[in-house]
């Protein structure tokens, strides 16, 4: 009888969880669509409307590309995590997915920092950064993002997920390190 009650509780819990993720999936889909449209517009405008390349316009298309990639990778992987949240069993898949999510997000953050440094030097110090250094800053942004994503991804694994003392499944989450 106790086993039957546990199964009934688990089925009810899974059903409620499935209803609750619909809002998250909708929000992630809207985020992805807005990001795709907005960043594509920026890339197209910079590609076809602005023919002269200046030091002020170098980082914006790079940021748009980084954000475009993040707007594709992050919502898709998050939706996959939501869909598989209760029966996730792939440890390597969890680490790889988290690596890509964090790398794309951190790359955008570091490119924004490049823009801040470039604007500071241009406005406050009247220094123009040569093209070689701008390219190096973008490469460094990506390398810093990867160097931060690798250790973070190693802290995630598939872990048991419990509700009221009963294990209801496995999910990709931070392990007990």
- Sign of the Cα torsion 132, 126, 111, 62 reads negative
Q: How many CB atoms lie under 10 A from the CB of residue 88?
A: 22
Check if the beta carbon of residue 20 is closer than 8 Å to that of residue 45.
Answer: no
Tokens found for residue 168: 């209801």
* Residue-range domains of the chain with CATH: 2-174 (1.20.1070.10)
In this predicted model, what pLDDT tens digit does every residue of 95-128 receive, in sequence order? Answer: 999 999 999 999 999 999 999 999 999 999 999 8
> Does the structure show a pLDDT above 70 at 5?
no
In this predicted model, what pLDDT tens digit does every residue of 30-89 receive, in sequence order? Answer: 999 999 999 999 999 988 876 666 666 789 999 999 999 999 999 999 998 888 766 777
pLDDT at 64: 95
Check if the beta carbon of residue 41 is closer than 8 Å to that of residue 49.
Answer: no
């Amino acid at each position: 009888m106790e086993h039957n009650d546990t199964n009934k509780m688990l089925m009810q819990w899974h059903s409620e969880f499935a209803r609750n993720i619909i809002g998250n999936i909708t929000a992630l889909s809207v985020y992805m669509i807005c990001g795709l449209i907005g960043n594509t517009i920026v890339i197209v405008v910079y590609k076809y409307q602005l023919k002269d390349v200046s030091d002020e316009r170098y980082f914006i298309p790079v940021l748009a590309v980084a954000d475009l990639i993040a707007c594709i990778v992050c919502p898709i992987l998050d939706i996959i995590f939501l869909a598989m949240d209760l029966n996730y069993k792939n440890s390597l898949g969890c680490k790889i997915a988290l690596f890509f999510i964090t790398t794309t997000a951190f790359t955008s953050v570091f490119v924004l920092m490049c823009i801040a440094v470039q604007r500071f030097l241009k406005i406050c110090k009247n220094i123009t950064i040569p093209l070689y250094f701008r390219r190096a800053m973008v490469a460094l942004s990506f390398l810093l993002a990867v160097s931060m994503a690798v250790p973070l991804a190693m802290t995630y694994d598939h872990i048991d997920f419990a509700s009221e003392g009963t294990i209801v499944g496995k999910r990709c989450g931070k392990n007990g390190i």
